[in-house]
């Protein structure tokens, strides 16, 4: 031995989530053309992804099993995609409501997912401290309910993929002001292209029933490390009025989306 230090080992923070060879394993993500994530086009028109989860897909069935296993063993870190093949990952476009049972999870890793939405049940993950959906390029927004994760202090999000982000200023999908979803009373079969979700049960603010006076809104708030565009489903004018002010360099009040004059970033 000389006096030189031995070479160090570099740890893969994301575990078994590096991009597989598509020639051998197939693609794990679908392409997204909602807006150009490399250059600004603030006046372009955008919309919600309209994909519905195929609950008969093998990837979805396997994900349900993984969530149940994680809830049963009380694990503190949950990396569900490492338990799926690339094709199975591609079949998953949302997470199941059963993630509400993951009350012991402190770190949720969704690196490189094909997700287009996160369910509001993430708000029940009360131990969550770190959230990593990095390189999930089709995930453009998050539910307001994520603000209930009071311990959440660290996040790694591909911010250029987010509606209204500071770097590119893409617009937000236009919401449906003052219109009750035209579906069954339980709102179980909504058009995600119009409402962003396939079901609305509870108020994002007070957690009570959504009620007949449902009002949707966008608000951008700092959640952990990143400013996220959050979709609110408010049950009443009172809950709508209770929403906080938006984050610095973003619109200060809740809004309906569409083509907006967003603030010029001020980094002083």
Q: Where are the beta strands (DSSP E) in 39-151?
A: 77-78, 107-109, 130-132, 142-143
Rounded to a whole number of angstroms, the distance between the first and last alpha carbons of the chain is 52
CA atoms of 30 and 47, how far apart (whole Å): 17
Of the two residues 257 and 43, the one the predictor is more confident about is 257
What are the extents of the domains in the chain? Answer: 46-241
Average pLDDT, the chain: 88
Return the pLDDT at 208: 96
Q: And the tokens for 154?
A: 């660290």
Residue-wise pLDDT tens digits, 8-20 = 433 445 445 554 4
- 21-30, 151-160, 256-265: which range is least confident on average? 21-30
Q: Which SS3 state, helix, strand or coil, does residue 147 take? A: helix
Q: And the tokens for 191?
A: 């058009």
Other Cβ atoms within 10 Å of 13 Cβ, number: 11
Return the pLDDT at 44: 75
């Amino acid at each position: 031995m000389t006096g030189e230090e031995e070479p160090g080992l570099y740890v893969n923070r994301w575990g078994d989530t590096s991009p597989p060879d598509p020639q051998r394993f197939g693609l794990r993500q679908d392409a997204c053309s909602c807006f150009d994530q490399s250059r600004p086009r603030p006046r372009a028109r955008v919309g919600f992804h309209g994909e519905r989860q195929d609950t008969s897909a093998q990837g979805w069935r396997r994900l349900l099993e993984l969530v149940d296993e994680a809830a049963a063993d009380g694990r503190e870190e949950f990396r569900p995609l490492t338990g799926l093949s690339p094709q199975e990952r591609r079949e998953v476009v949302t997470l199941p409501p059963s993630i509400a049972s993951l009350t012991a999870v402190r770190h949720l890793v969704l690196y490189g997912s094909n997700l287009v939405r996160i369910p509001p049940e993430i708000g029940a993950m009360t131990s969550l401290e770190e959230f990593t959906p990095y390189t999930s390029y089709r995930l453009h927004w998050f539910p307001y309910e994520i603000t209930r994760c009071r311990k959440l202090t660290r996040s790694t999000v591909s911010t250029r993929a987010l509606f209204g982000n500071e770097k590119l200023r893409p617009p937000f999908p236009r919401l449906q002001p003052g219109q009750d979803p035209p579906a069954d009373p339980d709102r179980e079969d909504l058009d995600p292209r119009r409402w962003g979700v396939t079901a609305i049960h509870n108020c994002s603010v007070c957690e009570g029933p959504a009620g007949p006076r449902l009002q949707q809104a966008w608000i951008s708030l700092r959640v952990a490390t990143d400013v996220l565009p959050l979709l609110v489903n408010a049950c009443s004018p009172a809950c709508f009025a209770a929403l906080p002010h938006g984050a610095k360099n973003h619109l200060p009040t809740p809004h309906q989306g569409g083509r907006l004059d967003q603030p010029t970033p001020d980094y002083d």
